Structure 1
């Protein structure tokens, strides 16, 4: 019996170390982390939240605060430590607007899901900061607008450059028609 408990304890420790290492790697790669409180959410609600986060390109994880604190230690997000009290969860994404938008949108529809704060790199954000970030256009829409701005002038320049050539071709055609009618 004692041997079985020791084996379970060793497995638990290994799993916890792997979890902390995995979460630390996530914090090294991501640009935005949102901390939330999710007390009383049903399994169906959490599943729905995860689906919406995934659709936005973000991830959602409920973690024991002690393990999350170990994972945060030494990363640029270690300022989030004071927020990790009680039943908390974290969401993250490389696109800061996507994770903020997904969290804020879900919080509007579910009163059990409460925003606590977040961090954009080393910059800590309160709830108002996360909500303000959620109001910004996403990275993909900003890229599309930028490409639209870049393409629009190029199209206009091409049109302007082609217009004189077209006018010149019409003048030459008219001159050629006039020459033919004079020669005839």
Structure 2
């Protein structure tokens, strides 16, 4: 292998290591068996939610993870592997939600493991995280909870007013 090719690969590993170091959420999946159209759809949805997906040779993954200081994911770098990651600190659950949805729809996707905010995460933990509503869903729940006392008070006042109207007649 030429020195130029080695230098190019080393440059790629360094750049990918920097991306992994900045990532708040990293998922490692096996996607083999998806059609090109299905992978394209998944990539599009990931991109729309500020999530990246890269298919990288396991050798490069090991080197990039080591350079990024990520330990514990090495056993997931076996077989066909795609890495899904985001540096969006506002919603680290989005990659898990999207991948989990695709895993439920297509039996061929397998979540191997991941890392959330520097902590190793199992497939089961990722599936639990995916069940949590997103930021928008949580905000709408909060608004509903905050509105409930006012709404209940309004219903009580209306009920009292209606009962007085009925007794006046």
Q: Deviations over 1:128-182 (max 9, x none)?
A: 1110111112235445666x48x86xxx8xxxxxxxxxxxxxxxxxxxxxxxxxx
Residue 139 of structure 1, aligned match among 110, 126, 135: 135
CA positional deviation for 1:109 = 1.4
Runs (5+) with no aligned partner, structure 2: 151-169
Between structure 1 and structure 2, the one with the greater Rg is: 1
Give the aligned CA root-mean-square deviation in angstroms: 2.4
Please tell me whether the aligned partners of residues 79 and 122 of structure 1 are also in contact (alpha carbons under 8 angstroms): no
Distance across 2 between alignment mates of 1:143 and 1:13: 49
| Aligned match of 1:123 | 119
Distance across 2 between alignment mates of 1:11 and 1:45: 35
RCO (CA 8 Å, sep 6+): is it higher in 1 or 2?
2
SS of equivalent residue, structure 2 residue 73: helix
Runs (5+) with no aligned partner, structure 1: 1-5, 157-184
| Aligned match of 2:58 | 65
TM-score by length of 2: 0.74
* Structure with the higher fraction of residues in helix conformation: 1
Please tell me whether the aligned partners of residues 14 and 67 of structure 2 are also in contact (alpha carbons under 8 angstroms): no
TM-score by length of 1: 0.69
Taking structure 1 as reference, are residues 110 and 75 closer, same or farther at Cα in structure 2, changes over 3 Å only?
Answer: same
